Chain A
Amino acid sequence: MSGVAWTLVALGIGVVVVRRRSIAVGLVTAQALLLAATALGQGGSFNSVVAAVALVLRGALLATLLLLLVRRTREARPVAAGVAPLARAGAAVGLALTLIWLVPPIGLDSAAAQRATLSLVAIGLVTAATRRATLFQVLGIVLVENGLAIAALSLPGTSSLAIEVGVAVDLLLIALVASVFHERIFVEFGAGDSTALRSLHDR
């Protein structure tokens, strides 16, 4: 698990730093496929096969939806993030290390799986907080869910299939709704830039 876990984290760091939305979508899709391969590698039980199929379907559908969105909302140049790439990566690594330091062993199959889970949650939160492009904020949610998928695959024994499939369906629903908003924000403001969404405040 160790090598796979750190590959997943490296792909996550890639999402924090890359400029192009399509590359970021590719990186989270690669994560989903790697997770599916990990599930299949867990002995080929019925549960692990279903988990792998759910992860592949979720990854493929998300990639299709998000790439379609990128195509339908072409921007003259990428929306600049408010924070420099190196600072974003630094913030993600800092938050990840803090979480790893704070959380005691929670009983997953390996320490690497726990660290990778917490790292991806941290990377997802930093992505959503520091990227101004609306699509990257959705990718922040996907990163968090990919991190949680590592934990679900590393639980001792088997977890509930119904819940695992349900989580994948819920994530797709959220992405679908986010895509409706993203397109409308693009039409309204000329860019999928969340800095345009700052008119609501208390007087």
Chain B
Amino acid sequence: MTARDWLVAAVLVAPLIGVAASSFAPRALLTRVALAVAASVGIAAVALAVVALAHPDHREIGRWIVVDPAGGLLLGVIGLVGLASALVSPQFLEGRGGTLFREDHADRIYWVTFFAFLAVLLAVPLAGNLGAAWLAIEATTAASALLVGFSGRARALEAGWKYLILTSLGLGIALLGILMLESAAGGGGGIELLTWRSLPHASLDPKVTIIAYVLLLAGLAAKIGWAPVHNWLPDAHSEAPAPVSALLSAALLPAVLLVAWRSEQALAPTIGARTAGGVLVGFGLVSLGVAVPFLWRPQAWKRLLAYSSLEHMGVIALGVGFGGPLAMAGVVVHIAGHALAKALGFYSATPLLGHEPRASGHSVGGIARTQPALGASVGISLGALAGLPPSPLFVSEVLIVAGGFQVGRPWTASAAAVLLALGFLGLAHALIDTVAGKARRRDRDFAPGLRSVTSLTVVTTALLLTLTVAALWLPGSAIVEGLMRGLG
């Protein structure tokens, strides 16, 4: 086995060790054990990401396992956000109210489910074929639904239930698309037919393939949260525990989007690159169009972040759909930048809700006036998500729009630019109001868990600025060339 194989094994096994360790650790040691395992999961995932991104030409494309730059990017994102979510989880658990589970077992069940979710989430970018990717995605639904409904409150039950039913039905439709693909290839080849390495070279019936592709993407859209099948997203993101919301938005959505991206690359030789990309561009534009009006409304903090997820998944869909070198560079930066900024936003929710409980259901103003450090965290997150320079998301959005012009889709790129500008204005308004607007009278000192969020803010800011610099170097790099090649 090579070093890369050992890392793959570590990434897949370490979270399962987390499940076992959290199940049996003595109660007094539970948090420490969980954090230690989360650190090892994060280190393994980031190490494999570095290896995959540092050697974009040296890809490992097997029947069950794939290690490539696109998967590496997602592994890095999941590893980092998973670790950060674990680090802020003790603060959430200390301040939590009721729970869906027996009170004396709740913390243990939280950690067991957290690691189970992480295990299947990490398997998504590593899956070497469409069938295994579907299985991993479906399994993320089971684990994450329990986490969404963890508080056991009526609103959390509603959010968890909607998420479970809508995404399961959506994935059923995606599975129908996969079966159609198998059928379009003539069947009989077992799993090899559905591997990322075989699909681009398979002799598929184009008429059936295009229907299969649309069904597959429509089903995955329900999980990615693309409009118009995004109904669960604002509810689940706003009702889940903050560390889980961060994982859902920053890691799960783009990980599932990666499967849509791989499918587009794998089926483009059969149905045509323009058609394959066009479906993604359609989802991207509709998602942007649906998200913008909600970004203009005063929203509860986590709900605002959820609608921002809808916008950003739309932007990434546009970039993947355009598919040119500039757009691909933009996609890489956007996935990483969105993950960092969005995770910070959700982590800030724990101290924010402690400081201003109304924030769970209403927009809040003037946080920096009563809690300057919290105001900084909220402001950096929202500023970066809005695409305010020097945010890397500003660079990535420029690259993606330019990429649209580069591949000969000027009207779509122009429409995207207008929608992005409108989205920017909406979020900029929210930024000013939330951070520096009129403040209510609050208890100035109370903001639970602020110290760890402040530390994460410093790290996130440094990473965001580094990403902005890297974004300028990325177009034309070997990483982007590797992404353009796909897995065929």
* A interface residues (Cβ-Cβ under 8 A, vs B): 103-108, 117, 121, 124-125, 128, 134, 137-138, 140-141, 144-145, 147-148, 151-152, 155-160, 162-163, 166-167, 170, 173-174, 176-178, 180-181, 184-185, 188-189, 194, 196-200, 202-203
Name the A residues within 8 Å of B100 (CB-CB): 180, 184
Q: A106-B211, A166-B135, A184-B149 are in contact. List 5 more A-B contacts (CB 8 A).
A: A144-B169, A155-B182, A163-B131, A177-B145, A194-B161
Instruction: Tell whether, in the assembled complex, residue A103 and residue B294 are in contact, meaning their CB atoms are under 8 Å apart.
Output: no
Q: Given A170-B138, A185-B161, do A141 and B172 touch, yes or no (CB 8 Å)? A: yes
- Among B38-46, B184-192, B344-352, B441-449, the stretch that binds chain A is B184-192
Instruction: Tell whether, in the assembled complex, residue B191 and residue A202 are in contact, meaning their CB atoms are under 8 Å apart.
Output: no
Instruction: Tell whether, in the assembled complex, residue B183 and residue A158 are in contact, meaning their CB atoms are under 8 Å apart.
Output: no
Name the A residues within 8 Å of B238 (CB-CB): 200
Q: Is B308 an interface residue (CB 8 A)?
A: no
Name the B residues within 8 Å of A196 (CB-CB): 154
Would you give the shortest CB distance from A25 to chain B, in whole angstroms?
Answer: 17
**What's the Cα separation between A170 and B145 when bound, in Å?**
13
Interface residues in B75-99 by Cβ distance below 8 A to A read none
Instruction: Tell whether, in the assembled complex, residue A200 and residue B157 are in contact, meaning their CB atoms are under 8 Å apart.
Output: no
Q: Is B239 an interface residue (CB 8 A)?
A: yes
Q: Given A108-B183, A156-B186, A177-B146, do A124 and B161 touch, yes or no (CB 8 Å)? A: no
Instruction: Tell whether, in the assembled complex, residue A198 and residue B158 are in contact, meaning their CB atoms are under 8 Å apart.
Output: yes
Q: Is B369 an interface residue (CB 8 A)?
A: no
Instruction: Tell whether, in the assembled complex, residue B157 and residue A181 are in contact, meaning their CB atoms are under 8 Å apart.
Output: yes
Q: Given A107-B208, A117-B176, A174-B164, do A199 and B138 touch, yes or no (CB 8 Å)? A: no
Interface residues in B155-180 by Cβ distance below 8 A to A read 155, 157-162, 164-165, 168-169, 172-173, 175-176, 179-180
Taking a contact as CB atoms closer than 8 A, the residue among B132, B187, B188, B297 that contacts A202 in the complex is B297
Name the B residues within 8 Å of A124 (CB-CB): 169, 172
Chain A-chain B contacts (Cβ-Cβ < 8 Å), number: 155
Instruction: Tell whether, in the assembled complex, residue B188 and residue A158 are in contact, meaning their CB atoms are under 8 Å apart.
Output: yes
Interface of B, helix, strand, loop or mixed by DSSP? helix
**What's the Cα separation between A14 and B366 when bound, in Å?**
57
Taking a contact as CB atoms closer than 8 A, the residue among B138, B165, B189, B239 that contacts A137 in the complex is B165
**What's the Cα separation between A128 and B173 when bound, in Å?**
14
Q: Is B235 an interface residue (CB 8 A)?
A: yes
Closest to B160 in A: A181
Name the B residues within 8 Å of A117 (CB-CB): 176
Instruction: Tell whether, in the assembled complex, residue A151 and residue B179 are in contact, meaning their CB atoms are under 8 Å apart.
Output: yes
Interface of A, helix, strand, loop or mixed by DSSP? helix
Instruction: Tell whether, in the assembled complex, residue A167 and residue B208 are in contact, meaning their CB atoms are under 8 Å apart.
Output: no
**What's the Cα separation between A189 and B140 when bound, in Å?**
27
Would you give the shortest CB distance from B83 to chain A, in whole angstroms?
Answer: 25
Taking a contact as CB atoms closer than 8 A, the residue among A107, A121, A180 that contacts B187 in the complex is A107
Interface residues in B86-138 by Cβ distance below 8 A to A read 100, 131-132, 134-135, 138
Closest to B158 in A: A197
Instruction: Tell whether, in the assembled complex, residue A202 and residue B183 are in contact, meaning their CB atoms are under 8 Å apart.
Output: no
Name the B residues within 8 Å of A184 (CB-CB): 100, 149, 152, 157
Instruction: Tell whether, in the assembled complex, residue B149 and residue A181 are in contact, meaning their CB atoms are under 8 Å apart.
Output: yes
Interface residues in B361-402 by Cβ distance below 8 A to A read 361-362
Instruction: Tell whether, in the assembled complex, residue B135 and residue A202 are in contact, meaning their CB atoms are under 8 Å apart.
Output: no
Closest to B64 in A: A162
**Which of A137, A166, A174 gathers the greatest number of chain B CB atoms within 10 Å?**
A174
**Which of B182, B189, B194, B303 gathers the greatest number of chain A CB atoms within 10 Å?**
B182
Name the A residues within 8 Å of B173 (CB-CB): 121, 144
Would you give the shortest CB distance from B27 to chain A, in whole angstroms?
Answer: 22
Name the A residues within 8 Å of B235 (CB-CB): 200
Q: Is B407 an interface residue (CB 8 A)?
A: no
Instruction: Tell whether, in the assembled complex, residue A148 and residue B179 are in contact, meaning their CB atoms are under 8 Å apart.
Output: yes
Instruction: Tell whether, in the assembled complex, residue B190 and residue A158 are in contact, meaning their CB atoms are under 8 Å apart.
Output: yes
Instruction: Tell whether, in the assembled complex, residue A200 and residue B208 are in contact, meaning their CB atoms are under 8 Å apart.
Output: no
Instruction: Tell whether, in the assembled complex, residue B155 and residue A163 are in contact, meaning their CB atoms are under 8 Å apart.
Output: no
**What's the Cα separation between A179 and B131 when bound, in Å?**
26
Interface residues in B178-217 by Cβ distance below 8 A to A read 179-180, 182-184, 186-191, 194, 205, 207-208, 211-212
Instruction: Tell whether, in the assembled complex, residue A141 and residue B165 are in contact, meaning their CB atoms are under 8 Å apart.
Output: yes
Would you give the shortest CB distance from B84 to chain A, in whole angstroms?
Answer: 25
Q: Is B141 an interface residue (CB 8 A)?
A: yes
Would you give the shortest CB distance from A82 to chain B, in whole angstroms?
Answer: 16
Instruction: Tell whether, in the assembled complex, residue B183 and residue A107 are in contact, meaning their CB atoms are under 8 Å apart.
Output: yes
Top 8 nearest A-B pairs (CB, nearest first) are A157-B188, A156-B187, A157-B187, A197-B158, A160-B191, A144-B172, A163-B131, A173-B142
Would you give the shortest CB distance from B28 to chain A, in whole angstroms?
Answer: 27
Instruction: Tell whether, in the assembled complex, residue B172 and residue A188 are in contact, meaning their CB atoms are under 8 Å apart.
Output: no
Query: Could you name 18 residue pairs across A and B whose Cβ atoms are closer than 8 Å?
Result: A105-B208, A106-B183, A107-B183, A121-B173, A144-B172, A148-B175, A151-B183, A157-B189, A158-B187, A160-B131, A163-B134, A167-B175, A174-B138, A174-B141, A177-B146, A178-B165, A181-B161, A197-B162
Q: Is B461 an interface residue (CB 8 A)?
A: no
Taking a contact as CB atoms closer than 8 A, the residue among B149, B169, B182 that contacts A159 in the complex is B182
Q: Is B321 an interface residue (CB 8 A)?
A: no
Instruction: Tell whether, in the assembled complex, residue B168 and residue A174 are in contact, meaning their CB atoms are under 8 Å apart.
Output: yes
Q: Given A140-B169, A202-B299, do A155 and B179 touch, yes or no (CB 8 Å)? A: yes
Taking a contact as CB atoms closer than 8 A, the residue among B145, B160, B191, B298 that contacts A163 in the complex is B191
Would you give the shortest CB distance from B157 to chain A, in whole angstroms?
Answer: 6
Name the A residues within 8 Å of B294 (CB-CB): 202
Q: Is B234 an interface residue (CB 8 A)?
A: yes
